[in-house]
Chain A
Amino acid sequence: MIPSLDLLLALAFGNLGLMLLAGRNPTAGLLSMILYALQGWVLVMLMPALAEGAASGLAFQVFGWSLSWELNGLGWFFAIITVGAAFFSAWFAAGAWGVQGTRSPWAFHVTLAANVAAMLLLLASRDLLTLFIGWELVTWAGYAMMIQSGGPATRAAYKYLIYGVAGGLAVLAAVVLIQVQAGGLGFAAVAAWMPGISTGMLWALMLLLGVGFGIKMAFLPFHRWQAEAYGESPGPAAAFLGAISSRMGLFGLLILLVHFIGLARLDELLLPLIGLDARILWMWLSALTIIIPTFIALKQNDARMLLAWHGIGQGGYMLLGVLVGSELGVAGGLLHVFNYATYQAVLFLVMGAVVYRTGTAHLDRLGGLITRMPLSYVAMLFAIIGLAGLPPMNGFVSKWMVYKALLDEGLPLLFVAAVIGTLGTILSVFKLIHNVFLGQLRVEHEQIREVPFSMWGPMIALSLIVFITGYMPGLALDLVMVAQTSLGFAALDYHLGGFVTDTGNLNMLAVVSVLLLGMGIGAGIFLLGGNKSKRVHQLDNYAGGHFLTTEVRYHYSHHFYAGLLRLIGPWYITLIKRLEGGIAALTDTLAAGSDGLYRTAYTPILMLAATVLGLALVL
């Protein structure tokens, strides 16, 4: 069984078929876990071959069109993350969550397998037609996964579908345009043909493909659908979607901007009026994508919405890093894809566990769960330190690389915008962990216990990955280098702990070991220096001489950051929300108008007029 793309796809579709048949019996989760592990093993086996650029592929003819698949470094990197996220989601759903946590585990396992298969097809595509097929399959598989929990989820999924289909049509239009102009659809052919085309055509292609891929990645103007869609889907499904699903859009954008057009060409593409070149335009768009969703996340009251909004925000870092163009920047952007997938999956899994135990994820109806669910707390703690990008965790490494690249390339304002995004993230992640796990425990949550091993296992495993790849970023950078070389950039020289560049270096081994040693000394001072302390009940608290009982809830979580929101509250002008509402209203009126027109008595005359007009145009 030599590891090859055919084996990988066979395993993926085999898993899908198996889940379709045996999805209901309790061991389905275990089976799918084993199959995902196998797929991961196949991918790992493929790594040495891909490092030198060789890649196994398959191709066949359908009605005269040639469909070809071939796994290269970039696709392989995304595939590793996809299969990893699927493995941990399946592990979470294999145990007690499958039995009580969801109405039908069968639906979850089938849609997960379908998603993985579709994504592998998309990632391995070698020509635009297969890319489009994979793209549509991913959209539909995502839709199937989102509507599982019913209720508000169906409405959010329907909105996602409208955006997804619009994106798909944009990509289809671009593919048709390229087929008509260039004749061939293979990536190599298109990449060869691209330099010759006129700037007008290039703008058109970039617009069409950019819009199509941007929608899937929830890029700024098209980000409205992702928060509700990911937030409403059940725990492990949200973890998988949040971790990797929207990165398919990034995969497409990378192929478009780097593989087809090339960053150099982007520099010359000047915007007619303001003299801004296209690369800076894309970078400012991704910088805005970092800031605006992060500060919308700050206002959210539902934990899952908060996390989903962060998903949109963090996407901006990845594209910003790659578009910088220097090895450090591209490596930072790609590493952020990996890092983000790890801690976002943990956060959604922890919220799935909290919903499994307390039945709600609303930040005003939780609090003090640290005493009842300590392991979930530890997992969330590791993950929010990663999401906020603070030293011991891996989130810091990739953000540091992006900042360093921005500063080295002389783009300070973009650096400031990215850091403002990070500050917003720190504020909102603290609100998340404070309102869910800290503060006073509620009376109704007094009896709940920690989630079973099948649920806290994946959480703790993923948070350990977050810590280890933060402590030794070299491990994750090996994966990134495979993707970076396949994108055509020079490999970054790094060592296990970090980088040595002439303008300032980072050695996470030193930073984190000093941090841990410092904590050792701090523990020595604190535990040995002072006397024994006594644990007291949560109602034994200072309240200005007031006797605390449970009638009065002595807890601050509603309208967190009230002072800040009093200032920036009016700045949320929901411009795009109203724009979207306007478009929706416009289509409604058009539909109603045509419906009214169509239903009136003299329809045959209208039909006749329409056909005559059509014939006149055609002949």
Chain B
Amino acid sequence: MNQQNFPVQVAPLESCREPGPEERSMLRKVLDRVGQYCQSRSLFVLHYCTGCGAIELPPSMTSRFDLERVGMQPMVTPRQADILLITGYLSVKTLKRVILTYEQMQSPKYVMGFGSCTINGGMYWNSYATVKRLGDYIPVDTYIAGCMPRPEAIQQGFLDLIERIDGGRAVAWKDYYRNYDRYLGHQQHLFGRDWLTPTDVVGEAAHYRLAGDGTLGPHTALLDQYAGYHQAWGVPREQYAELEASS
């Protein structure tokens, strides 16, 4: 089982960083502006009900509130979606799937947290099974108050997000690449040292030159070490011990 076809190759980060928006040529600036304008006008919401607030979405999409007026459509797979809604509490089990889904989404992508459960644990603050601060695990753009917020509040939240995208201020997704080590640290703290998602975030950061100084660190080193065992061709978890002992 050789290494090279395994998803996580920690590619060497080129030294050159991505040119800032002001240094790009005139044509590029125009294209960026058009892209930004269209990104704010056409948002695809991921059809993924993570918590109790998802029931508020059908009324906001259908005839009463009709979010298609601002160009929003529900989409089925993370590959096609731009917005991931975390509607309420997140159990540790669901968080694993949410992180996988978030990493499968293509940036620029946005996360919206509903209610106080995503801020400080909400009414499940002292439960052993729920996650307290969503911001530790994936970067969040907007929080909407309310347990659970009504469609009017959701609509207001979306309009605020659209206005920030149009202004170019909704860049939380870049933070995931720039400070991936911090996010990975929190994730490993919860799920154990051998936590691994199929998406190669470090590789993507290198490929699209979105890497910052916080991308690599002790946790991504752990990722690299455990990558050897949990290869895509499947070394089951139980055999880690003797592999570690032997190596």
Contact = CB atoms under 8 A, between A and B. Distances in A.
Direct contact between the two chains A and B in their complex (CB within 8 A): yes
Interface of A: 443, 446, 532, 534, 536-537, 539-542, 545, 547-551
B24 interface: no
Interface string B222-242: 000000000011101000000
A550 B232 contact: yes
Contacts of B6: 537
A446 B97 contact: no
Nearest to B94: A545
B118 to A, nearest CB: 18
Given A547-B96, A549-B232, 13 more contacts: A443-B233, A532-B207, A534-B204, A534-B207, A539-B198, A540-B200, A545-B97, A545-B100, A547-B100, A547-B197, A548-B198, A549-B234, A550-B232
B119 to A, nearest CB: 24
A541 B101 CA distance: 10
Given A534-B207, A536-B200, A542 B78 contact: yes
Q: Which 5 A-B pairs have the closest CB atoms?
A: A545-B97, A540-B198, A537-B7, A550-B234, A549-B234
A546 to B, nearest CB: 8
Contacts of B204: 534
8 contacts: A446-B5, A532-B208, A534-B203, A537-B198, A539-B232, A545-B100, A547-B197, A550-B233
B33 interface: no
Given A540-B200, A545-B101, A534 B208 contact: yes
**From DSSP, what is the main secondary structure of chain A's interface residues?**
loop
B3 interface: no
B7 A540 contact: yes
Give the size range of B's interface with the partner: 20 to 34
A373 to B, nearest CB: 16
Contacts of A537: 5-7, 198, 200, 232
Nearest to B209: A532
Nearest to A540: B198
B7 A536 contact: yes
A5 B168 CA distance: 81
Contact of B198 (A443, A532, A547, A551): A547
| B100, B203, B236: residue with the most chain A Cβ atoms closer than 10 Å | B100
Interface string B98-118: 001100100000000000000
B199 interface: yes
A540 B207 CA distance: 16
A542 B104 contact: yes
B79 interface: yes
Contact of B233 (A446, A540, A545): A446
A548 B104 CA distance: 13
A547 B232 CA distance: 10
Contacts of B156: none
B232 A542 contact: no
A536 B204 CA distance: 10
Nearest to B76: A542
Contacts of A541: 198
B194 to A, nearest CB: 12
B100 A539 contact: no
Interface in B96-154: 96-97, 100-101, 104
Contacts of A446: 5, 233
Contacts of A550: 232-234
B208 A540 contact: no
Contacts of B199: 536, 540
Contacts of B198: 537, 539-541, 547-548
A223 to B, nearest CB: 44
A133 to B, nearest CB: 58
Nearest to A447: B2
B234 A542 contact: no
A548 B198 CA distance: 8
A446 B233 CA distance: 10
Contacts of B96: 547
A40 B45 CA distance: 64
